[in-house]
Chain A
Protein backbone atom coordinates (compact mmCIF):
# COMPACT_ATOMS: atom_id res chain seq x y z
CA UNK A 1 0.00 0.00 0.00
CA UNK A 2 0.82 3.73 0.07
CA UNK A 3 1.74 4.13 -3.56
CA UNK A 4 2.27 7.55 -5.10
CA UNK A 5 2.56 8.06 -8.82
CA UNK A 6 3.77 10.99 -10.90
CA UNK A 7 3.11 11.85 -14.50
CA UNK A 8 4.95 12.42 -16.70
CA UNK A 9 8.19 10.78 -15.64
CA UNK A 10 10.14 12.89 -18.09
CA UNK A 11 9.31 16.04 -20.03
CA UNK A 12 11.26 18.24 -22.39
CA UNK A 13 9.84 21.62 -23.31
CA UNK A 14 10.82 24.87 -24.94
CA UNK A 15 11.61 27.97 -22.96
CA UNK A 16 8.51 30.06 -22.27
CA UNK A 17 6.02 27.20 -22.25
CA UNK A 18 4.15 25.86 -19.23
CA UNK A 19 4.39 22.32 -17.95
CA UNK A 20 1.99 20.47 -15.65
CA UNK A 21 3.10 17.61 -13.43
CA UNK A 22 0.57 15.36 -11.71
CA UNK A 23 0.98 13.60 -8.39
CA UNK A 24 -1.51 10.93 -7.37
CA UNK A 25 -1.95 8.84 -4.25
CA UNK A 26 -3.20 5.53 -5.61
CA UNK A 27 -4.41 3.67 -2.56
CA UNK A 28 -4.94 6.22 0.18
CA UNK A 29 -6.36 9.67 0.67
CA UNK A 30 -3.66 12.28 0.89
CA UNK A 31 -4.69 15.14 3.09
CA UNK A 32 -1.31 16.76 2.57
CA UNK A 33 0.98 16.73 -0.43
CA UNK A 34 4.46 18.13 -0.72
CA UNK A 35 6.48 19.23 -3.72
CA UNK A 36 10.27 19.06 -3.79
CA UNK A 37 12.92 19.86 -6.36
CA UNK A 38 16.31 18.27 -6.63
CA UNK A 39 19.22 19.62 -8.66
CA UNK A 40 21.92 17.20 -9.86
CA UNK A 41 23.92 15.71 -7.01
CA UNK A 42 22.06 17.84 -4.50
CA UNK A 43 19.47 17.03 -1.91
CA UNK A 44 15.74 17.56 -1.99
CA UNK A 45 14.48 21.04 -1.25
CA UNK A 46 10.89 21.53 -0.20
CA UNK A 47 9.07 23.92 -2.50
CA UNK A 48 5.56 23.93 -1.08
CA UNK A 49 3.03 22.13 1.08
CA UNK A 50 -0.58 21.76 0.02
CA UNK A 51 -3.61 20.61 1.93
CA UNK A 52 -6.65 19.41 0.05
CA UNK A 53 -8.98 22.26 -0.73
CA UNK A 54 -6.62 24.94 0.55
CA UNK A 55 -4.04 27.20 -1.00
CA UNK A 56 -0.51 25.88 -0.99
CA UNK A 57 2.07 27.18 1.46
CA UNK A 58 5.30 28.05 -0.33
CA UNK A 59 8.78 27.95 1.14
CA UNK A 60 10.83 31.09 1.25
CA UNK A 61 12.31 31.93 -2.11
CA UNK A 62 9.84 29.88 -4.16
CA UNK A 63 7.79 31.99 -6.56
CA UNK A 64 4.15 31.11 -6.12
CA UNK A 65 3.19 32.70 -9.44
CA UNK A 66 5.73 30.59 -11.26
CA UNK A 67 5.04 27.29 -9.55
CA UNK A 68 1.28 26.89 -9.40
CA UNK A 69 0.05 24.14 -7.11
CA UNK A 70 -3.46 22.75 -7.07
CA UNK A 71 -4.65 20.11 -4.61
CA UNK A 72 -8.26 19.80 -5.67
CA UNK A 73 -8.93 16.28 -4.43
CA UNK A 74 -7.66 13.89 -1.81
CA UNK A 75 -5.77 11.87 -4.41
CA UNK A 76 -4.43 14.45 -6.84
CA UNK A 77 -2.13 17.43 -6.70
CA UNK A 78 -0.66 19.23 -9.69
CA UNK A 79 2.38 21.44 -10.09
CA UNK A 80 2.43 23.76 -13.08
CA UNK A 81 5.72 25.40 -13.99
CA UNK A 82 4.68 28.53 -15.85
CA UNK A 83 6.84 30.21 -18.49
CA UNK A 84 9.57 27.68 -17.92
CA UNK A 85 13.21 28.65 -18.37
CA UNK A 86 16.35 26.53 -18.56
CA UNK A 87 17.13 27.24 -14.91
CA UNK A 88 13.86 25.48 -14.00
CA UNK A 89 15.31 22.24 -15.33
CA UNK A 90 15.37 19.89 -12.38
CA UNK A 91 14.01 16.70 -10.87
CA UNK A 92 10.62 17.37 -9.25
CA UNK A 93 9.39 14.91 -6.63
CA UNK A 94 6.07 14.90 -4.84
CA UNK A 95 5.10 13.16 -1.64
CA UNK A 96 1.81 12.48 0.02
CA UNK A 97 0.67 11.93 3.57
CA UNK A 98 -2.66 10.73 4.87
CA UNK A 99 -4.21 12.12 8.01
CA UNK A 100 -3.57 8.90 9.92
CA UNK A 101 -0.05 8.29 8.67
CA UNK A 102 3.17 9.39 10.25
CA UNK A 103 5.26 9.49 7.14
CA UNK A 104 5.36 10.86 3.65
CA UNK A 105 5.25 8.54 0.66
CA UNK A 106 7.24 9.69 -2.32
CA UNK A 107 6.50 9.57 -6.00
CA UNK A 108 9.08 8.42 -8.56
CA UNK A 109 9.85 11.95 -9.69
CA UNK A 110 9.60 13.93 -12.92
CA UNK A 111 12.66 15.02 -14.85
CA UNK A 112 12.01 18.43 -16.43
CA UNK A 113 14.35 19.72 -19.11
CA UNK A 114 13.74 23.20 -20.50
CA UNK A 115 15.54 23.95 -23.74
Chain B
Protein backbone atom coordinates (compact mmCIF):
# COMPACT_ATOMS: atom_id res chain seq x y z
CA UNK B 1 0.00 0.00 0.00
CA UNK B 2 1.41 3.35 -1.06
CA UNK B 3 2.30 5.73 1.75
CA UNK B 4 3.30 9.34 1.22
CA UNK B 5 5.18 11.35 3.83
CA UNK B 6 5.93 15.05 3.82
CA UNK B 7 8.62 16.72 5.86
CA UNK B 8 8.52 19.12 7.57
CA UNK B 9 4.94 19.29 8.80
CA UNK B 10 5.28 23.03 9.26
CA UNK B 11 7.81 25.61 8.15
CA UNK B 12 8.13 29.31 8.85
CA UNK B 13 10.67 31.44 6.98
CA UNK B 14 11.31 35.13 6.33
CA UNK B 15 10.19 36.62 3.06
CA UNK B 16 12.70 36.35 0.24
CA UNK B 17 14.25 33.05 1.28
CA UNK B 18 14.49 30.04 -0.98
CA UNK B 19 13.05 26.87 0.53
CA UNK B 20 12.58 23.19 -0.13
CA UNK B 21 9.66 20.98 0.78
CA UNK B 22 10.14 17.23 0.83
CA UNK B 23 7.91 14.35 -0.14
CA UNK B 24 8.70 10.65 0.03
CA UNK B 25 6.72 7.63 -1.10
CA UNK B 26 7.09 3.93 -0.41
CA UNK B 27 6.18 2.34 -3.76
CA UNK B 28 8.23 3.57 -6.72
CA UNK B 29 5.77 2.17 -9.29
CA UNK B 30 3.97 5.45 -9.75
CA UNK B 31 2.18 7.02 -12.71
CA UNK B 32 2.83 10.60 -11.77
CA UNK B 33 3.33 12.96 -8.85
CA UNK B 34 1.63 16.25 -8.21
CA UNK B 35 2.18 19.16 -5.92
CA UNK B 36 -0.87 21.09 -4.76
CA UNK B 37 -1.48 24.20 -2.76
CA UNK B 38 -4.39 24.48 -0.32
CA UNK B 39 -5.40 27.70 1.36
CA UNK B 40 -7.31 27.44 4.68
CA UNK B 41 -10.86 26.17 4.17
CA UNK B 42 -10.40 26.00 0.41
CA UNK B 43 -9.97 23.38 -2.27
CA UNK B 44 -6.78 22.36 -4.03
CA UNK B 45 -4.82 24.23 -6.65
CA UNK B 46 -2.52 22.12 -8.80
CA UNK B 47 0.98 23.57 -8.95
CA UNK B 48 3.09 21.06 -10.83
CA UNK B 49 2.57 17.62 -12.35
CA UNK B 50 5.53 15.34 -12.99
CA UNK B 51 5.08 12.22 -15.09
CA UNK B 52 6.93 9.11 -13.97
CA UNK B 53 9.33 9.44 -16.91
CA UNK B 54 10.26 13.01 -16.03
CA UNK B 55 12.83 14.28 -13.58
CA UNK B 56 11.53 17.78 -12.95
CA UNK B 57 9.00 20.44 -13.82
CA UNK B 58 9.19 24.20 -13.45
CA UNK B 59 6.58 26.91 -13.22
CA UNK B 60 7.69 30.42 -12.38
CA UNK B 61 9.38 30.40 -8.99
CA UNK B 62 8.48 26.75 -8.41
CA UNK B 63 10.55 23.75 -9.35
CA UNK B 64 9.61 20.18 -8.54
CA UNK B 65 11.94 17.23 -8.90
CA UNK B 66 11.24 13.52 -8.93
CA UNK B 67 13.56 10.63 -8.13
CA UNK B 68 11.45 7.54 -8.54
CA UNK B 69 14.15 5.07 -7.60
CA UNK B 70 14.64 6.63 -4.21
CA UNK B 71 10.97 7.47 -3.74
CA UNK B 72 11.50 11.19 -3.29
CA UNK B 73 10.27 14.48 -4.64
CA UNK B 74 11.12 18.02 -3.67
CA UNK B 75 9.35 21.30 -4.26
CA UNK B 76 11.69 24.25 -4.46
CA UNK B 77 10.25 27.72 -3.97
CA UNK B 78 12.51 30.61 -4.90
CA UNK B 79 12.32 34.09 -3.46
CA UNK B 80 9.39 33.27 -1.18
CA UNK B 81 6.60 35.82 -0.70
CA UNK B 82 3.91 36.18 2.00
CA UNK B 83 1.35 35.11 -0.62
CA UNK B 84 3.05 31.73 -0.77
CA UNK B 85 1.76 30.98 2.73
CA UNK B 86 -0.47 27.91 2.46
CA UNK B 87 -0.42 24.16 2.96
CA UNK B 88 1.45 22.29 0.26
CA UNK B 89 0.35 18.76 -0.52
CA UNK B 90 2.20 16.11 -2.43
CA UNK B 91 0.15 13.39 -4.13
CA UNK B 92 1.25 10.25 -5.92
CA UNK B 93 -0.79 8.78 -8.76
CA UNK B 94 -0.81 4.99 -9.00
CA UNK B 95 -0.23 3.21 -12.28
CA UNK B 96 -3.57 1.51 -12.49
CA UNK B 97 -6.60 3.59 -11.69
CA UNK B 98 -4.60 6.75 -11.33
CA UNK B 99 -5.83 7.22 -7.82
CA UNK B 100 -4.02 9.87 -5.86
CA UNK B 101 -2.49 9.17 -2.47
CA UNK B 102 -1.80 12.33 -0.53
CA UNK B 103 0.81 13.21 2.01
CA UNK B 104 -0.11 15.02 5.21
CA UNK B 105 1.07 18.33 3.84
CA UNK B 106 3.53 21.01 4.86
CA UNK B 107 2.06 24.15 6.40
CA UNK B 108 4.20 27.01 5.09
CA UNK B 109 4.26 30.50 6.59
CA UNK B 110 6.24 33.27 4.95
CA UNK B 111 6.85 36.15 7.33
CA UNK B 112 7.01 39.69 5.89
Contacts and interface: CB of A to CB of B under 8 A. Distances in A.
A34, A49, A91, A104 — which one has the most chain B CB atoms within 10 A of its CB?
Answer: A104
A67 interface: no
A108 B40 CA distance: 11
A31 to B, nearest CB: 11
B89 A109 contact: no
A71 B46 CA distance: 24
A60 to B, nearest CB: 10
B41 to A, nearest CB: 7
Contacts, number: 48
B25 interface: no
B92 to A, nearest CB: 12
B3 to A, nearest CB: 11
29 contacts: A34-B99, A34-B100, A42-B104, A43-B102, A44-B44, A44-B102, A45-B102, A46-B99, A49-B97, A93-B44, A95-B44, A95-B100, A97-B98, A102-B49, A102-B51, A103-B34, A103-B46, A103-B49, A104-B98, A104-B100, A105-B46, A106-B36, A106-B43, A106-B44, A106-B45, A107-B43, A108-B43, A109-B42, A111-B41
* Ranked 9 nearest A-B pairs via Cβ: A108-B43, A106-B44, A43-B102, A109-B43, A44-B102, A43-B104, A106-B43, A103-B49, A107-B43
Given A44-B44, A103-B49, 20 more contacts: A34-B99, A43-B103, A45-B102, A46-B99, A46-B100, A49-B99, A93-B44, A97-B98, A102-B32, A102-B49, A102-B51, A104-B98, A104-B100, A106-B36, A106-B45, A108-B42, A108-B43, A109-B42, A109-B43, A111-B41
Interface of B: 32, 34, 36, 41-46, 49, 51, 89, 91, 97-105
